[in-house]
Amino acid sequence: MRIILIVLLPLIFLFSCRSSKKIQSAMTKSDTLILVVKNPAESDSAALVHETIERLKTNHIDFNTFSAKIKVQYRDNKPRNYEFNAFIRIQKDQIIWLSINASLGIEAFRVLITPDSVKLIDKLAKTVKYHTVEYMKEIAQLPIDFYTLQDLIIGNPVYLDSTHISTYRERESSVSLATIGDFFKHLLSLRKTDYALLHSKLDDVDPARSRTADFTYNDYEYIEGRFFSTKRLITVAEKIKLDVNLDYKQIEFDKPLTFPFNIPRSYNIE
């Protein structure tokens, strides 16, 4: 079940554990520092910050429907190593549908999420589980909802408070913004040439919890007018260290989709 959550709800899984460890900074150390603005709202460089936010917004991915095949590679230091395929379909703001295939292409799980519910069919155990959307918040102890998850899958920034920017850094090849919100300190690193999102690093505001996750975005392609990261890495150092690679294939936007979710009568409800 937890492996499913890594694919489906990265933040839920990553932050459901407690850790005092930190992962490496999302900043590229080899970059040459050009400009550091510690209090951008009070400086003459506020225009630079505003321009950066506006450029980031132009890369926001909008859509009606989305579908893709995702090759998932999971590794930790237990050691455990899993590889499987996940097929995902989204009707914007309405449905997130996921099918996970085990070995030999056999479907193991099917998940259906709406703005107010989470349903999971375990085809191996022949069970079905029903939850309200509060289930996600309870596991993560975070204000995560359907729309946050939707942005995570698509590749749009989450937990970005553009009104509370604490630091702005400009380097030769990247621009970074640090924001402080109610729950996270958020460091974003953007490619300077086109303001594509390179890293998103979240640290818990509460030092007693020390929750941290790093998302890396690679291999951008223009797909039907959208600037889309096709390869991503989630890295977490908890009591165990884990890496999850996501390789997106067969990406399509705004095509007609169905969301089959038939439950056999013989399945047990849990």
What pLDDT sits at residue 217? 95
Q: Specify if 165 maps to a domain.
A: yes
Let me know if residue 266 belongs to a domain: no
Please give the tally of structural domains in the chain: 1
Q: What is the pLDDT of residue 42?
A: 55
Please name the residue that has the structure tokens 């640290």.
Answer: 203
Task: With respect to residue 267, please indicate whether it lies within any of the assigned structural domains.
Answer: no
The list of the chain residues with pLDDT below 50 reads: 1-35
C-alpha triplet 215, 137, 211: angle, nearest 5°: 45
Most distant CA pair in the chain: distance in Å? 67
Tell me if 25 is assigned to some domain: yes
How high is the pLDDT of residue 238?
58
Residue 9, pLDDT score: 47
Whether residue 90 lies inside any domain: the answer is yes
pTM of the model: 0.82
Q: How far apart are CA 56 and CA 158, in angstroms?
A: 12
**Residue burial 78-91, b: 16+ Cβ < 10 Å; e: rest:** eeeeeebbbbbbbb
Residue 86 lies in a domain: yes
In a domain, 174, yes or no: yes
Return the residue matching tokens 């996750």: 213
- Domain carrying residue 194: 2-260
102, burial (CB in 10 Å: exposed 0-12, middle 13-18, buried 19+): middle
Q: Look at residue 150 and tell me if it is in a domain.
A: yes
CATH number for 51: 2.50.20.10
pLDDT value, residue 140: 59
